[in-house]
Amino acid sequence: MFDRAVQLKAEYRGATLRETPPLAGRTIAMLFQRPSLRTRVTFEAGMNQLGGHAIYLTEDVVMGARESVRDVARNLERFVDAIVARTGPHAVVTELAAQAAIPVINALTLREHPCQALADIFTLRERHGSLDRLVLTFVGDGNNVYHSLALLGGALGMEVRLAHPPGYGPNASIVERARQLAAAGGGRLEFFEDPTEAVRGANVVYTDAWTSMGQEAEAEERRDAFSGYRVDTALLDAAGPDAVVMHCLPAHRGEEITSEVMDGPRSIIWDQSENRLHVQKALLVELLAGTVAEE
Ligand code: CP
Ligand code: NVA
């Protein structure tokens, strides 16, 4: 899939138009219960670039309010080729996947953000060639973005570290699964409380919002808990001169990351954002090309 993303990115940058776009005539439905800039625009633009179409649906028409998740799935599978869903509870995405006979792509739940991790790790592969033994330190909340980085990074041979304040650690079942994948893929997981210790020798320092979507009521207590977990120049220096910084965005400048770091020469944040487009296009082609029923 990463190789396909390399090819699609080159085609896009070179403005190469294929005579027959790979997803001509295909449609995806995008069910979003949470706001989005990157995920929405990259899936919509991506489908368009592949010759297909995306329909964006918001909470008022989807997922349990107007009709059940099951009934939404049973309708959509008759109309479109895949569903891209961003929900709060992870169970809504798994229910959609269980009920619909078409692919369902997780576009972020409170538990996981796999499309983000795919783009991030693709970005590191682009820079480093190999992912083997690359060290990524995530500084902040052990939730969705960290979970997906741990699952994928470990499986692909990386060392994925996490520095989090007490009480904001990862989900135990995800860690167990990520450890299994890492054992099979040559990677490893490490945990720290002290961010400075955690970044020592890291190739990548990664951070994310202290308060994720849906947790707004906890914002104040989270600001206190995470105040020692800011990625600033001093922390990046502690990682080493070649370390780069990543953030899935949206960023809260002055909270989890400083503007100096975000806009500085060691930031690869905009590259990872750009790569959402190409990796998701590769995913869509993987899932949808050649799936038109023959009968
Ligand atoms: N990183 C990310 O998923 O951004 P959006 O929430 O804007 O889609
Ligand atoms: N952890 C963040 C990621 C946003 C892309 C959230 O869930 O809001």
* Model pLDDT for residues 14-52, shown as the tens digit of each residue: 887 777 899 999 999 999 999 999 999 999 999 999 999
- What pLDDT does residue 61 have? 67
Task: Write out the chain in H/E/C secondary structure.
Answer: CHHHHHHHHHHHHCCCCCCCCCCCCCEEEEEECCCCCHHHHHHHHHHHHCCCEEEEEEHHHCCCCCCCHHHHHHHHHHHCCEEEEECCCHHHHHHHHHHCCCCEEECCCCCCCHHHHHHHHHHHHHHHCCCCCCEEEEECCCCHHHHHHHHHHHHCCCEEEEECCCCCCCCHHHHHHHHHHHHHHCCEEEEECCHHHHHCCCCEEEECCCCCCCCHHHHHHHHHHCCCCCECHHHHHHHCCCCEEEECCCCCECCCECHHHHCCCCECHHHHHHHHHHHHHHHHHHHHCCCCCCC
pLDDT digits (tens, 9 = 90+) for 81-129: 999 999 989 999 999 999 999 999 999 999 999 999 999 999 999 999 9
pLDDT at 236 (0 to 100): 98
Q: What is the pLDDT of residue 17?
A: 73
Question: Which residues make beta-bridge pairs with 84?
Answer: 30, 105
CATH 3.40.50.1370, applies to 2-109+276-288 = yes
Average pLDDT, integer, range 64-93: 93
What number does the ligand 2 atom closest to the CA of 215 have?
8
Q: Residues for the chain: how many in total?
A: 295
Give the domain ranges of the chain: 2-109+276-288, 115-264
In degrees, rounded to 5, the angle at the alpha carbon of residue 189 between the alpha carbons of residues 185 and 191 is: 180
Q: Is the pLDDT of residue 60 over 80?
A: no
Confidence of residue 295 (pLDDT cuts 50, 70, 90): very low
Instruction: State the average pLDDT over residues 136-142.
Output: 98
**Residue with the nearest Cα to atom 6 of ligand 1?**
36
Which residue has a Cα nearest atom 6 of ligand 2? 212
Q: Which ligand is nearest to the CA of 120?
A: 1
Task: Name the residue with the closest Cα to ligand 2, atom 2.
Answer: 212
Task: Say if residue 216's pLDDT is above 90.
Answer: yes
pLDDT score, position 161: 98
Residues 227, 174: Cα–Cα separation, whole Å: 26
Residue 196: the pLDDT is 98
Residue 294 has pLDDT above 60, yes or no: no
- Report whether pLDDT(64) > 80: no
Q: Which of the two residues, 39 and 67, has the higher pLDDT score?
A: 39
* Whole-number pLDDT of residue 275: 98
CA of 39 to the centre of ligand 1 (A): 5
Rounded Cα distance between 108 and 87, Å, is 7
Q: Which residues contact 35 (CB under 8 A, 6 or more apart)?
A: 213
| Mean pLDDT calculated for residue range 172-194 | 98
Indicate if the pLDDT at residue 293 is higher than 80. no
pLDDT per residue as tens digits for the range 230-283:
999 999 999 999 999 999 999 999 999 999 999 999 999 999 999 999 999 999
Ligand 1 centroid distance, CA of 293 (Å): 33
Q: Given this chain, do its domains 2-109+276-288 and 115-264 carry the same CATH topology?
A: yes
Given pLDDT bands bounded at 50, 70 and 90, which one contains residue 62?
low
Class of domain 115-264 (CATH, top level): alpha beta
Ligand 1 site-directed mutation target among 32, 33, 39, most atoms within 8 Å of CB: 39
pTM of the complete model: 0.96
